[in-house]
Amino acid sequence: MKTIHLRPVCAAIVMLCAQAPAFAQDADGGAAQTSPGANESQNARAAADAEAATNQANAAVTPVAPTQPAQQSQPIQQITVTGLRSSIRSAESIKRNSVQVVDSINAEDIGKFPDRAAGDALQRIAGVQVQRDRGETNSVIIRGLPDVVTTLNGMEYFTGNGRRLSYQDLPVQSIGGLDVYKTATPNQLEGGIAGGVDVRLRMPFDLKGRNVSGFLEDRRQTVNGSSATDDKNNPGGGFSASNRWNTSYGEIGALVDVAFNREHWGYPVQWVDRPVNVYSVNPVTGVGRRNLDTPVAPLSPGDVLGEFPNVGGIYNAGDRDRGSLHAAFQWKVNPTLEANVQYLGTGYRGRNAVDYMIANSTWTPTITNVKLAPAGSYCNTPEGTICPILSANHPAAQFGGPYDWDPYIATSTQAQKEHTVTHFLSQGLNYREGRWKASSNLAWVKSTFVNDTVIVDQQVPGASADIYTYGADGHGGYNSITTPTSAAPLRDPNQFVLRGLSQNWTVTKGEQVQWRGDASYRLGDGFFEGIDAGLRFSQHRASAHKAQGNNDFTGARPSPTAAFGSSFETLAPGLDRLGGPWMTPSRDYLIDQADTVRALYGAPLGRLPEDPNSTFQESEQTNTLYAAARFKTQTGGVDVSGTAGLRYVHVNRTLRGNSRVGDVITPIDNSSSENNVLPSASLIFGWSERLQSHLSAGKTITRPEFARLNPALSLSPATVNAPGTGSAGNANLRPTSSKNLDATFEYYFPKNGYAQIALFHRNIDGYLQDMETSENINGLNYRVLRPQNSGSGKLKGAEFGVQKFFDFLPGPWSNFGVQFNYTWIDGENQTLTSPTSNTYMTTALTNVAKQNYNFALLYEGNGITGRLTATHRGDYVEQIAEPRFNQDRTVKATTFVDLSVSYAITPNISLQLDAINLTHQKFESELGPYMPRDVRYNPTTYGLGLRFSL
C-alpha cells in the first residue's frame, strides 16, 4: 500500500485537538475513511491529499513514483508534508476537486484556532456565520439561513430531540475535518435548505503507525459588563492514542481519544422591554401621567405622548462540564474490502443560575423628571406621535394590598440542573474491485437531555426607581433603587419578602436507527463516466415529557432569611449599568434543598408529577432512493464534468400531543406521509489549468425541528404588573423547500492559494417565523409565540474569497499568509400579517445579515505558528413587526477578534496561547433610534495550553 503521510513539524495543536493527522490514501484512489455515498467528495478528498503533497513550501520530498490524480488509480509518490500550509492546501484541494460547492477546514487547520468545539471552528469558513450564547457557539448559519443538516461521516447526527447537532457538545479533539456543503447532490442527506455540515471523525488509518498525543490547558474568562465577577480557572485536557498493525488477517487499526473541559461562565444581559406604557408628558414640568385611553391622546393641552418600557437585567452564570469519548476500529480485510466500527459519546453537565433583576413600572400613575427623545420620524407610530422617554423617576405608589407596589422591584433566581448524554455507534463496510465500488453503513444515535428548574422570586416593597432607557452607550439601566429605609435595598436581604415559587422539569429524547447502502459503477471513458445509486432507511423517534407548577403565599409574606436562614441568599455579581451586585436566592440552595423550599410554600415534596397534556411523541420512518449519472466531456477546449440525478424521499409520520390555546386543550393524534422528489445537477467547467467554475442547480428541503412541531404550551408566570410569556410548537407545520442556483469562478495560484467569486440564489417557500398572540390562560394574560410557515421568499448573494501564503516574498515575509472572505446577502419574505390571517406582507428574512466577512493573518516559521482572525457579522432583523407599534427588532453588527499563537519548544512539545473576543464584542438589539432592546455581554477568554506527541 502506497500512502501519503502528512506529519506536523511542530506539535502545536489547539484546545481539544491532539495532533494533525496523516491522511492515508489507497493507491487506487480509495480513501481509508470516507463519508458513505459521497462519491464526489471522496474523490475530492483523495485528490486533496495528492495535491497537498505537491506543495513544495515547507515540505521534504522523496520521489517514489510520478504523481497522478488519485481518482485515476495511478501510483502516488511518497511525500512528507508539514505544517499549517499543508492543511490549508488540503482543504483548498477538496474545494477544487469536489463537484459540489464546498469549503473545508482540516484537523491541523482547526488546531490553529482557539476553538474547543465544532461550532467555533466552523465560523472560520467562507459564508458561515455563528450565533454565540453564554460564551459558546450554539448555532451555525450558512449564507444567512439556519436550516443546516449535520452528519457524522455522512450519517445523520443530532442532540436531544432535535434534528441537528448542538455544536458546543462536539469537541474538536475527535475531528479530522469539517466540510460545509453549500450545494447538494443526490447522494447527500436531505434536510438543510441552507446546506450541510459533515463532520469527519478521526480514524486510525488516517495516521501512520503508532501515535500518542495529548494536551493540558487552562482558560481564564473575563466577564464583560460586570466588574464584580471574579475570574476563575477553567481547566481542560485530552489524550489520543492510535496504532496500525499488519497481521495475517489483514491490516488492523485502532484509535481512542478522550477530552474533558470545565467552565465557570458568566453572561450578563441588560434588557429594555418593548414599548407598552404610554404617558401624557408636560414638557415644561417633566411630569408624565399614565395614559390608558383608547385611542391614546394627550391628557392636557400642551402635553405630548411618550412611551416608557420596563427595564431589567439578567446575570446568567454557571458551572458546566463537557466530556467526550471516541473510539474507532478499522480492518482492511484484503485489497478490496475494509470494515470499520466507530463510537462517539459526548456528555454535558451544568448547574446554572439565571438571576433576574426587574423594576417594572406598569401601573405607576405619575412619573417625574421625564426626559423625552428629540422629535423625529421614529416618533411616528400606528397610534400617532409617541416619542421614546429616555429617563424618568418612578416614585413608589401603592395600589392594592401591602405588597402591591409600583414600580415592582424584585430579584429572582432560576436554578437549573441539567445534563445531556449522546451516543453514536456506526458500522461500515467498503468494497472496491474493478469498476465497482460499494458501501454499507449502519448507525444508531441516542440522545437524552434532562433539565430540572426551581424558581423563587423576592420583592422589595415600597421601592422607588430612577431609570434610564437610553444612556451614553445607547442602552438602559438604573441610576438608583431606593426605599425610605435604605439607599441600597437590593444588597440588603432584610428589604425583601418572598414572592412565588415556580418549578418545571423537562426530559427530551431522540433515538434513530439508520442504514444506507451506496454503489457506484464506472462505465468507461465515454461521455457517461459512471452511475451512482443508493438506498437509505431510517427510523427516528423523538419525545418530550415535562411538568410545570406554581405556588405562592396567601397571607403575609415572610422574609427570605427569616424563612430559610442566611444561606438562602447570595450576592449575584449583577451588571454595572444596573448598580452592580444584588441579593437573590442561592442557586445551590434551590437545587440541593429544593424540598425545604417546597415545604414552606405548601407544595408536594419531590419532583412534580408528569403533566399528560405536555407529553409529545413523534415517529418518522424515512425511505430514500437516489440515482445519478456522472459525465465528462470537452467542448470548445473547455473540460466539462459533473453529476445529475434525483433523490426520492418518502416519510411516514406519527405525531401525538396536546395543543392548548387559551384554556382550550385539544388532543392531537396525527398520522401523515409525504413524498419529495429532489432533482439536482452539478457541473465543473475547467477553463484552463488554474481557472474553473462550478455551476449547480437543485431543490432542497428542511423539515421542522421536533420541538417546533410539539404543540404543548410552556409558560413563564406573570408578575403583579406584567404579563407572562409562553411558547408552543405547531403540529401543522410543513417542510420548508428551496430551489437553488449556484455559480462560482475560481482561480488557483501556483504552489498554493486561490481567489474566487461565488453567486447564489434561493427561491424559498414556507420559511418558519414566530408569530405572537395574546391569550388569557387561567385568568392571566400571556404573550404566546408559535411558529408558522410563511409564504414565498427569496435570497440572493455573492461571496468573494482569497487565500494565499506569501511564498513569493523574501526571507521571513514568506512565512506570512492571509485568508479573507466576504459574503453579501439580500433577501425578502412573504410574512403573514397575523397568525390567523391569510394575507401576507413583504418583509426581510429574519436572521439574515447582509454583510459578513472573515479575515485571518497567518504566520508559520521558526517553530512559531500564529493566527489573528476577525469574524464580522452584519446587522440583521431578528423579529418582524414586534408589538406594540409593529417595529422590526434588529441586531447590530459585531466583529470578533481572536488570536492563537503556538511555539514548538521541542519537536514533540509545544506551548499555545489563545485569546477569544479581544474586542469585547457584545450582542445589541434595538427597535430604532433611542429604542434599545438587549445588550448581552460576551466574555473575553484567555488560554494557555501545553501539547505533546510521542
Q: What is the pLDDT of residues 833-870, one digit of tens each?
A: 888 888 899 999 888 899 999 899 999 999 999 999 99
Report the alpha-carbon distance of residue 413 to residue 583 in Å, rounded: 10
Q: What is the number of residues in the chain?
A: 950
Indicate the helix (H) or strand (E) that contains 94: helix 83-97
Chain Cα centroid distance, residue 774: 29
Q: Is 119 in contact with 110 (CB distance < 8 Å)?
A: no
Strands 664-686 and 638-661: antiparallel
β-strand partners of 651:
622, 674
- The whole-number average pLDDT for the span 783-805 is 92
* Cα–Cα distance measured from residue 493 to residue 754, given in angstroms and rounded to the nearest whole number: 63
SS3 letters across 21-37: CCCCECCCCCECCCCCC
Pairing of strands 79-81, 5-6: parallel
CA distances from 460 to 353, 393, 490 (A): 20, 17, 8
Average pLDDT, stretch 553-562?
Answer: 93
Q: How does strand 754-765 pair with strand 768-777?
A: unpaired
Question: Is residue 45 scored above 90 in pLDDT?
Answer: no
Residue 592, SS3?
helix
CA–CA gap between residue 497 and residue 423 (Å, rounded): 46
C-alpha cell read off for 92: 483548498
Helix (H, G, I), strand (E, B) or coil at 561: helix
C-alpha cell at 237: 485536557
Contacts of 593 (CB under 8 A, 6+ apart): none
* 700 vs 114, higher pLDDT: 700
pLDDT in tens, 76-103: 233 233 467 777 888 888 888 889 888 8
Q: What is the pLDDT of residue 110?
A: 63
Find the mean pLDDT for residues 420-443. 96
Cα(758)–Cα(799) distance, rounded to whole angstroms?
5
Distance separating alpha carbons of residues 908 and 11, to the nearest angstrom: 5
DSSP notation for 536-560 = EEEEEEEEEEEEEEEE--SSPPPPH
Angle between helices 39-53 and 83-97 (to 10 degrees): 140
Q: Pairing relation of β-strands 148-152 and 195-201?
A: parallel
C-alpha to C-alpha distance for 890 and 850, rounded to whole angstroms: 12
For residue 302, the SS3 value is coil
Q: Is the peptide bond before 289 cis (omega within 30 degrees of 0)?
A: no
The percent of residues above 90 in pLDDT, for the chain, comes to 66
123 or 826, greater pLDDT: 826
Residue among 363, 546, 557, 545 nearest 456 (CA): 557
**Environment class of 881 (CB within 10 Å of its CB; exposed 0-12, middle 13-18, buried 19+):** middle
Concatenated DSSP letters for 466-503?
EEESS-TTS--EEEEEEBTTBS-GGG-GGG-EEEEEEE
Range name among 72-81, 523-532, 734-743 with the lowest pLDDT average: 72-81
The set of cell numbers assigned to 169 is 457538545
Q: How far apart are CA 165 and CA 864, in angstroms?
A: 34
pLDDT digit string, tens, across residues 571-617:
999 999 999 999 999 999 999 999 999 999 999 999 999 999 999 99
Mean pLDDT over 777-781 rounds to 83
Q: Contact at 8 Å (CB) between 1 and 146?
A: no
Per-residue burial over 571-587, b = 16 or more CB atoms within 10 Å of its CB, e = otherwise: ebbbbbbbbbbbbbbbb
What 3-state class would DSSP assign to 689? coil
Neighbours of 685 (CB within 10 A): 18
pLDDT in tens, 6-15: 333 233 323 3
pLDDT at 681 over 90: yes
Please count the other Cβ atoms lying within 10 Å of the Cβ belonging to residue 102: 24
How far apart (Å, rounded) are the C-alpha atoms in residues 601 and 774?
A: 30
Structure confidence at residue 66 as a pLDDT band (50, 70, 90): very low
Distance CA(576)–CA(589), nearest Å, equals 25
Q: What is the pLDDT of residues 913-932, one digit of tens each?
A: 999 999 999 999 999 999 99
Contact between 195 and 179 (Cβ < 8 Å): no
Q: Which three cell numbers stand for residue 245?
A: 498493525
CB burial string 43-55: b at 16+ within 10 A, e below: bbbbbbbbbbbbb
The confidence score (pLDDT) of residue 434 equals: 92
pLDDT over threshold 50, residue 63:
no
What whole-number distance in Å separates Cα of residue 508 and Cα of residue 420?
A: 10
CA separation for the pair 931, 381 (Å, rounded): 13
Q: In terms of Cα–Cα distance, which of 667, 549, 661 is closest to 615?
A: 667
Positive or negative torsion for Cα 468, 469, 471, 475: positive
**What pLDDT sits at residue 112?**
56
- What amino acid is encoded at 280 in this protein? S
The answer on pLDDT for 474 being more than 60 is yes
174: exposed, middle or buried (C-beta count within 10 Å: 0-12, 13-18, 19+)? Answer: buried
Pick 292 or 221 by higher pLDDT: 221
CA distances, 220 to each of 92, 382, 642 (Å): 34, 49, 49
Share of the chain above pLDDT 70, in %: 90
At position 506, the amino acid (one-letter code) is T
How crowded is residue 794: how many other Cβ atoms within 10 Å of its Cβ? 16
pLDDT in tens, 125-178: 777 877 777 777 777 888 877 778 889 999 999 998 888 888 888 888 788 888
pLDDT digits (tens, 9 = 90+) for 816-843: 999 999 999 999 999 888 888 888 999 9
How wide is the angle at C-alpha 394 spanned by C-alphas 393 and 396, nearest 5°? Answer: 140
Q: What is the 3-state secondary structure (H, E, C) of 774-841?
A: EEEECCEEEEEEEEEECCEEEEEEEEEEEEEECCCCCHHHHHEEEEEEEEEEEEEEEEECCCCCCCEE
Read off φ and ψ for residue 441, nearest 5 degrees. Answer: -140, 125
- Distance from C-alpha of 253 to C-alpha of 242, rounded to nearest angstrom: 7
Distance, in Å, from the CA atom of 165 to the CA atom of 117, rounded to the nearest integer, reads: 12
Burial 274-290 (b: 16+ CB within 10 A, else e): bbbbbbbbbeeeebbbb
More confident residue, 44 or 523: 523
What is the largest distance, in Å, between two alpha-carbon atoms of the chain? 99
At 517, which helix (H) or strand (E)? strand 497-522
Average pLDDT, the chain: 87
Task: Measure the N-to-C terminal CA separation of the chain; round to a whole number of Å.
Answer: 24
Task: Please state, in angstroms and rounded to a whole number, the distance separating the CA atoms of residues 817 and 582.
Answer: 49
Query: Which residues neighbour 883 within 8 Å (Cβ) at sequence distance 6 or greater?
Result: 274, 772
In this structure, of 622-636, 737-751, 770-784, the range with the lowest mean pLDDT score is 770-784
Q: Does the pLDDT of residue 542 top 50, yes or no?
A: yes
How far apart are the C-alpha atoms of 784 and 664, rounded to whole Å?
14
- Hey, is 128 helix, strand or coil? strand
Q: pLDDT, tens digit, for every residue of 691-740?
A: 999 999 999 999 999 989 999 888 877 665 567 888 899 999 999 999 99
Provide CB contacts within 8 A for 910, sequence distance 6+. Answer: 10, 11, 12, 13, 902, 903, 904, 946, 947, 948
Provide the whole-model pTM.
0.87
